[in-house]
Amino acid sequence: MKIAAVGDYMIDDYTNLNNRFLGGNALNFIISLQRKVDYNLSFVGPVATDTDGEKLLKALEEYNIETNHISIVKGRSPISTVELQDGERIFKGLQLGVLEDFRLNNHQISFLKGQDHIHSSIMGGLISQLKDMKGKGSTSFDFSILRNKKLIMDAVQWVDYAFFSSKTFGDNEISLMKEGYAAGGKQIVFLLGELGSRVYDGERIYECSAVKCKVLDTLGAGDSYIAGYISEILKGGSIAGAMEIGSRWAAEACGQYGGNGLKC
């Protein structure tokens, strides 16, 4: 099984911990997979020429994640300023660095088309290239809190597993699920934090409770959920089973600082 994470990495700078961690949606996803399953994993995206970029490359090498299709870009690594308040991460600032103008080249697109699964997110800035990436395998995309209907509907037709985040679940979220499915998404997933998760597959809405756990830091919990969910689906598992696996992986992520625990 060949899986590629596409787009973003981030340096998460915790102001009240005096610590910095390697993070970002795509990176957290692929690190979570590497720790749990035996797949051929790769990271595709820009890596800055600064010391943080060097630390990222070293971490990817240590985790045996392929980096043959990254782009080394002169500039600074993306930085997210984070503050923890009772375990909940609060974003205080963002510098996109080398992510700001990055676009996949033809060589990278050709590589991605040959993968069994690719995952990306709104933070990677590549939503307009989803059509180009789509090949023989399946795709997942983290839309996070994006609610721009036109942007979502234009993109979701190229996405098999679409993930959204919300603190509530009601008529608006159900409507988005159904519209997303009608536009071409196979499974539309809402991550709801302590309220658990919901999935729509065109026939019914599945519900799954969050796993109770001690919360040190919620950053990266959603990325771990997505990794767990996708890993189970790719094995031929059921939606209900994938939700349970995702919830367990998310709970484990809440027990560590940083999106994946890797200090920078």
Structural domain contains residue 264: no
Structural domain contains residue 119: yes
Structural domain contains residue 263: no
pLDDT of residue 88: 76
Q: What is the CA radius of gyration of the chain?
A: 17
Structural domain contains residue 186: yes
pTM of the full structure: 0.96
The CATH number covering residue 40 comes to: 3.40.1190.20
227 phi/psi in degrees, rounded to 5: -60, -45
Smallest CA-to-CA distance from 126 within 156, 109, 95, 104 is with 104
Structural domain contains residue 67: yes
Strand pairing class (79-85; 88-95): antiparallel
| 3-state SS assignment for residue 100 | coil
What is the domain range of residue 169?
Answer: 2-253
| 3-state SS assignment for residue 226 | helix
pLDDT of residue 119: 98
Q: Are 130 and 152 in contact (CB under 8 A)?
A: no
Structural domain contains residue 262: no
Count up the domains in the chain and report the number.
1
Beta strands of 86-203 (E only): which ranges? 88-95, 117-121, 138-144, 161-165, 187-191, 197-200
Question: At 211, which amino acid appears?
Answer: V
Structural domain contains residue 57: yes
Q: Are 197 and 188 in contact (CB under 8 A)?
A: no
pLDDT tens track of the chain, all 264 residues? Answer: 999 999 999 999 998 888 999 999 999 999 999 999 999 999 999 999 999 999 999 999 999 999 999 999 999 999 999 888 877 778 889 999 999 999 999 999 999 999 999 999 999 999 999 999 999 999 999 999 999 999 999 999 999 999 999 999 999 999 999 999 999 999 999 999 999 999 999 999 999 999 999 999 999 999 999 999 999 999 999 999 999 999 999 999 999 999 999 998
Smallest CA-to-CA distance from 180 within 208, 206, 151, 207 is with 151
| Rounded Cα distance, 253 and 212, in Å | 12
- Reading the block at residue 167, the tokens are 């603190």
Structural domain contains residue 16: yes
Q: Hey, which residues does 80 pair with through a beta bridge?
A: 12, 94
Q: Are 111 and 136 in contact (CB under 8 A)?
A: no
Residues 6 or more apart whose Cβ sits within 8 Å of residue 119: 3, 4, 5, 6, 26, 29, 30, 139, 140, 141, 142, 226, 230
pLDDT of residue 85: 82
CB atoms within 10 A of CB 217: 23
- Reading the block at residue 81, the tokens are 């300023």
